[in-house]
Amino acid sequence: EDRILQCHVRNLLGPLSPLIETYLREAGFLHVALIGQGCKLDPELISALVERWISETHTFHIPCGECTITLEYVHLQLGLLVDGSVVTGSIQFADWGTVCYDLLGVVWF
């Protein structure tokens, strides 16, 4: 049975709005928004990675062993900062327990 995932790219089509571009530049994410432009996904590769993902250990199980994606790898590949202030968007309320649960799926107190 063919088990290839259907992949959809949700990239920005066309030029960025100056307002959005300003916010992305200030947050240091502008280059990330532009990464996928003109890029094609390989559904077979993505499907293979999904099948090899072990959620209990947060690793990919591949023939030569296990590997995981760390914040250092994200920093090296995408140039995103992994320390400093967190970018979460606009928060209009102070119920941080709800915010943490929405973003992380768990709350520790």
Cα 82 to the center of its chain, rounded Å: 13
pLDDT confidence tier of residue 32, bands split at 50, 70 and 90 = confident
**12-48 b/e with 16+ CB inside 10 Å = b?**
eeeeeeeeeeeebeeeebeeeeeeeeeeeeeeeeebe
Whether residue 37 lies inside any domain: the answer is yes
Q: Which amino acid is at 94?
A: A
Q: Which domain holds residue 21?
A: 3-104
Q: What is the pLDDT of residue 53?
A: 87
pLDDT confidence tier of residue 2, bands split at 50, 70 and 90 = low
Instruction: Examine the pLDDT at 7 and tell me if it is beyond 80.
Output: no
pLDDT confidence tier of residue 109, bands split at 50, 70 and 90 = low
Per residue in 33-53, pLDDT (tens digit) is 777 666 677 778 888 888 888
CB 87 within 8 A of CB 32: no
- CB neighbours of residue 60 within 10 Å: 17
Whether residue 109 lies inside any domain: the answer is no
Q: What domain count does the chain have? A: 1
